[in-house]
């Protein structure tokens, strides 16, 4: 199965066009190598995705009129192992079973 199609079916990326754009920018890697959208995946492949754009401002709970800057520290990009390659579209509940997250994002 193509990388862009897997990302869309597994719901790791909302739309296939977004997956294509990320791949063309070199933002997605498979098994440590930058991957194109047409890369054929196999069970056991490790996919590394960029972080979604974080919100950089939040309300200060102790003083609601003040904004705090958050998200300055560097965190590793999330990695996912491919567990299954479906033959067609899958339900939302089943989509989460297609992969396993290898690195837990730190908060």
Residue 71, Ramachandran bin (φ over 0: left; ψ between -120 and 50: alpha; else beta): left
Give this prediction's pTM: 0.75
For residue 103, how many other CB atoms are within 10 A of its CB? 12
Q: What confidence tens digit (pLDDT) does each residue in 29-69 have?
A: 999 999 999 999 999 999 999 876 554 445 555 655 555 45
Which pLDDT score, from 0 to 100, does residue 72 have?
47
Domain ranges, ordered by start, for the chain: 3-50+78-101
Examine the pLDDT at 106 and tell me if it is beyond 80.
no
Mean pLDDT score of the chain: 82
The CATH superfamily assigned to 3-50+78-101 is: RNA-binding S4 domain (3.10.290.10)
Phi and psi at residue 100, in whole multiples of 5°? Answer: -135, 130
């Amino acid at each position: 199965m193509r990388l862009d199609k897997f990302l869309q079916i597994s719901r790791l990326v909302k739309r296939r066009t977004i997956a294509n754009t990320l791949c063309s920018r070199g933002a997605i890697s498979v098994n440590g190598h930058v991957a194109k959208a047409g890369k054929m995946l196999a069970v056991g492949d490790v996919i590394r995705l960029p972080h979604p754009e974080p919100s950089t401002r939040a309300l200060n709970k102790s003083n609601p009129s003040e904004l705090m800057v958050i998200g300055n520290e560097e965190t590793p990009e999330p990695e996912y192992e491919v567990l299954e390659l479906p033959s067609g579209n899958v339900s939302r509940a089943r989509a989460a079973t297609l992969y396993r997250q290898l690195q837990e994002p730190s908060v």
